[in-house]
Structure 1
Amino acid sequence: MAIVDDPLASLRLPLVDLLLTPLCGGVLKNHIHEVVLAFLIYHGIYLIARVVSPKVAKGYTSLKYKDQIDYCIHVVSMIQCVVIFTLMTPLFNHPDLSKDRVFGYVPYGGLVLSFALGYFIWDALISLAYVKYFGPGFLIHGVISSLVFGVAFQPMIVYYCPIFLLFEVSTPFLNLRWFGNKIPGLVSDNFKMINNIILIILFFFVRISYGLFQAFKLFTDFYHARNDERFIWQFAMVIVVGNLGLNLLNFFWFSKMLKIAVITIRQMINKETKTDLLIDNDNDNGGAPITGYRTNLPSQPAKRGKARSS
């Protein structure tokens, strides 16, 4: 049986009804307390991670200040993935939403939107606070995602909510890659290699291929619904432009992944070649090293990689 009701509908937070509810349109007024709750939960996890990690996390204290912040952000991201995957699963192929992919709405869908929006708002604000460390890319991602999921409370595209949140399936592997690269000895080289392969495959097939297919499907639904009195062009354009922007970011990040993968493979080949040359040299030249052997590849295959929600 499909879940329809919102289990947190009766929850009330101090000052939210007084200050925020009057400002909300659409069905957001029924869920703004959940957006605030999600934001507070994720920021609370971040603050706890900042306090607890130095005491219990291997290698945390040896990280630079910037990486310590990033470490805690990745902890939040990992927990968010578990939360949002658990919440969104009942929405897939939901019969009430499938009847109207553009304007369909069930209160439980509003709950899922709320936890997604609460995280993306937190993500945008934390990216803004530390933009000097992490650059504008993650800030742009957080702002666009917040706008798109905010507009969805009109309600619009609740049907597509779990579909686009499915993009986060690659995020745990991106988080694991970051932890493995930043903390020596945390995982084996074989684990890193397998994790990186899974990451690239998932990122391409889910975010790129599946993402473009679903975007085309969404734009087609918008075209067919354009004359519906509930269709608001301004909100539809926010969703369309936001979706295109996020797809461009996905292509940019995927190109960086491929570049890192190529560098890593070349390093592995050069390492094997160097070993073979030294062995041949030991056999043919009495153990004297071949002085002309060198590589211009960087010693580390990857720069900072950071996993957040699209």
Structure 2
Amino acid sequence: MKDPFPPCPEAIVRAVTPICDALGFETLPNHFHEVIGAFLLYHFTNVYLSPLISPLLFPKTYRSFNKRNRINWDIHVVSLVQSTLICIISLYAMAVDQERSEMDVKQRVWGYTGLLGMTQAFGAGYFLWDLMVSTQYLGIFGPGLLAHAICALCVFSLGFRPFVNYYAPTFLLYELSSPFLNFHWFMDKLEMTGSTLQLVNGICLLLVFFSCRLVYGTYSSFRVGSDIYSAWQNPPHDIVEQGRTVPAWLALSYVTSNLILHFLNFYWFGKMIDALRRRFDSAKSTSSSPNKEGSVAGEDEVSIEGTDLKIPASSQIHQGGVRQRK
């Protein structure tokens, strides 16, 4: 299926093609404008849109934040926008791209459609923004998150070879759980910790996370690993003639990264259950004691792609939390 967006201007295609060819990113010139467009969308949301709208919608809360918490809030707004947008795009691609639905093993590894390229571009645009913010706030995020941003952008960019474009919307649907994670964090800041609405949201979070990342994610990880192994061991004759076989470094790096991040999902799921249980135990304990406040702590650990599930410091109990990373 064709890319629904207008084509990249010819002048930009000519300018970036030599660099893309040198990197082996054959399809990137056709989607370069979408990568930059997605990056600018998230940057605009972070720097202008959230600081403009948030004090209008939540004047008391947002204006009471110090600089660190405003950074945190604005980044969670970007995460909410990004996860909602990328899930809509991914579901659309999976529903309407007939070429994708008819792909065999060979095409699932080397195949390409304009719509899948656009989906890949919006994902890469977010990781590019992630890299910029992780660098800008290195003192807050630390070198670990910067390294994660670099690796995520590098691995995701491999899709422009093209490589396993078929699975781009599949793994981007991991983001279906992110809106619930962000809602959970926003409810803390709006003094809704332990509320019925937060409990319902927490249940939805666990169900969606379990279904998308653990059940569907396990199935998809097995499929992509099987397809890559088959392509690596038995490349079709026409692919060999074109020099587009899957090198060992590419197969091993992709599969290893996928497995590590996938097993982390199981770890995060256990931490989320523990954190949510502690959160509501803390809320009950706080409500029974008139001397303790139910609000969240003023200083939070900043996260780009997810949100903390930390217990408020005012509860004076162990803070069990999790940061979601892709």
Q: Same fold (TM over 0.5)?
A: yes
Aligned to 2:63: 61
Which residues in structure 2 correspond to 1:68-217 (within 5 Å)? Answer: 68-92=70-94, 94-97=97-100, 98-99=103-104, 100-135=107-142, 138-185=145-192, 189-217=195-223
Q: Which digits, 9 at most, give the CA deviation of each residue in 1:190-237, with x for residues without a partner? A: 001111111122212211232122111111111111131333223323
- Does structure 1 retain, via aligned residues, the 8 Å contact 2:268–2:324? no
- Does structure 1 retain, via aligned residues, the 8 Å contact 2:3–2:117? yes
Distance 2:267 2:141 in 1: 15
Q: 1:158 to 1:34 in 2, by over 3 A?
A: same
Q: What percent of counterpart residues are identical?
A: 32
1, 7, 26: which one aligns with 1:10: 7
Aligned residue identity for 1:21? T
**1:33 aligned onto 2:30:** no
Aligned residue identity for 1:82? T
Unpaired runs of at least 5, structure 1: 276-296
Distance 1:49 1:268 in 2: 32
Cα RMSD (Å): 3.1
Q: 1:46 to 1:168 in 2, by over 3 A?
A: same
Aligned to 1:22: 18
Q: Which digits, 9 at most, give the CA deviation of each residue in 1:254-273, with x for residues without a partner? A: 23312212323544676799
Aligned to 2:256: 241
- Does structure 2 retain, via aligned residues, the 8 Å contact 1:35–1:115? yes
Aligned to 2:293: none
Distance 1:131 1:304 in 2: 21
- Give the paired residue count: 284
Distance 2:62 2:205 in 1: 24
Distance 2:69 2:90 in 1: 31
TM-score (norm. length: structure 2): 0.76
Aligned residue identity for 1:44? F
TM-score (norm. length: structure 1): 0.79
Which residues in structure 2 correspond to 1:161-310 (within 5 Å)? Answer: 161-185=168-192, 189-226=195-232, 227-228=234-235, 229=240, 230-233=244-247, 234-267=249-282, 298-299=315-316, 310=326
Q: 1:87 to 1:106 in 2, by over 3 A?
A: same
Distance 1:181 1:110 in 2: 37
Aligned residue identity for 1:106? T
Distance 2:199 2:5 in 1: 42
Q: Which digits, 9 at most, give the CA deviation of each residue in 1:155-205, with x for residues without a partner? A: 1111111110110000000010110112225x8700011111111222122
Distance 1:253 1:86 in 2: 24
